[in-house]
Each structure stands twice: as C-alpha cells, then as structure tokens.
Amino acid sequence: MIAFVSGPVAALAPDSAVVEVGGIGIAVQCTPNTLSGLRMGQQTKLATSLVVREDSLTLYGFADDDERQTFELLQTASGVGPRLAQAMLAVHSPDTLRRAVSTGDEKTLIAVPGIGKKGAQKLLLELKDRLGEPVGAPAIGTAVTSGWRDQLHAALIGLGYATREADEAVSAVAPQAEAAEGAPQVGQLLRAALQTLNRAR
C-alpha cells in the first residue's frame, strides 16, 4: 500500500492533484478541502489510500492520517464505495462524521449528495461502533464562522484561476453561504464556485 506521497505539486484540477515523486507524476484524487491547501510548485505531503479495481488503480489523497483512516472506515459499511466516502469527507470533517454517527444525526449524513433518508439510517447503524468518538470540540471541522471568503478565494487561486475569476466565483456563491444555517462549509462553497466557473467557460 502507498501510505503517502511527498513532493512538489505539479498540477491541480477541480478533483485531483499531481504530485511529483522521484521524477514521476502521481495523480491523487482529493476533496476540495484538501485541494484548497495545495499550491502549484510547493512541497506537499498527502496521506493516501490506494483503491484497486479490476480495471483501475486509483490513489486517494488526504490532508492527514485521520481523514485517510475515516475514508477507509466509511467503506466498511455496505454500499459505501470510495467515491461516496470521498463525498462524505468533502462535505464534513472526520470529527463531524464521528459526531453525527455517535449522536444518530441523520440530517448531517443526508447533506451529502447521494445519501437519502434510508441510506443515512442504514449508515448510522453500520458505522455506530466503527468510527469511534469525536475528539474535538463541536465547533471544530471544516465549518468556519468568519473568513470563508478569504479561504475560498485562496483555494481558487491555488487551483490556477485568475483573481478576477476567483472574485466573481466568490460573489456568485455568497448568497448560498449567507443562507447556510450556522457557519458555511468552505468545501461545499468551493464545489459550488467551481461549478459556476465551469459554466462560465
């Protein structure tokens, strides 16, 4: 198993990054939150999980070992493959998922694209004793109470968009951020911003 990759970031895309390791470009599938912390040409170290299929080898990358471990534990539930597990981590931090499972919070899981009410109930049952207890305070995670504009803008610049494009995308998702209950999730806003930029091109 490839436990991590370390090297300069050679390329960035909306859902993946290429890290140069020993002269070889390794493509790594990442969540928007992980991608937002990467910058072209800068050194990075990503915890990784290799998913082997008959017709493909896909490497998934994470900001830390906690995310990687949560990604692998989520897939122990029936019906959860790597794409859905990654979607869950794109929307929620590992601690938010642990808290949702430990408290039986369906709404948190339903917020993930591809999970309905029945699926959420099933996941709560299956993951109950697998994810463990939350380790942080309730406020910890991907949610931020302030500065989401700066974080989102920096993430878009890091993905290679021009300042003007980043400004327009941030403005486009501002109503969504302001309408969110509680603190806006930067990962969700980044996905929405990327969709508006793709439509504009």
pLDDT digits (tens, 9 = 90+) for 63-79: 999 999 999 999 999 98
Mean predicted confidence (pLDDT) in 8-35: 93
CA-CA distance, 185 to 99, in Å (whole number)? 16
Measured distance CA(165)–CA(171) in Å, rounded: 10
More confident residue, 48 or 179: 48
Which H helix or E strand runs over 116?
Answer: none
Cβ neighbours for 95, distance < 8 A, ≥ 6 positions apart: 134, 135, 136, 140, 141
Give the residue extent of every domain in the chain.
4-62, 67-127, 148-200
Specify the fold of 4-62.
OB fold (Dihydrolipoamide Acetyltransferase, E2P) (2.40.50)
Backbone Cα Rg of the chain: 17
For the segment 189-193, the average pLDDT, to the nearest whole number, is 83
For residue 152, the tally of other CB atoms under 10 A from its CB is 26
Helices and strands, number each (H, E), in the chain: 9, 5
Q: For the domain with range 67-127, which CATH number is right: 3.40.190.290, 1.10.150.20, 3.10.450.50, 1.10.20.10?
A: 1.10.150.20
Exposure on the CB side of residue 72, measured as CA atoms within 13 A: 16
Q: Where are the alpha helices (DSSP H) in 41-158?
A: 65-74, 82-91, 94-103, 106-110, 117-127, 148-158
- The reply to whether CATH 1.10.10 applies to domain 148-200 is no
> Identity (one letter) of the amino acid at 167?
D
Among 44-58, 118-132, 150-164, the least confident range: 150-164
Q: What pLDDT does 16 receive?
A: 93
Q: What percent of the chain has pLDDT over 70?
A: 90
pTM: 0.67
95-114 residue pLDDT tens:
999 999 989 999 999 988 88
H or E element that contains 177: helix 163-179
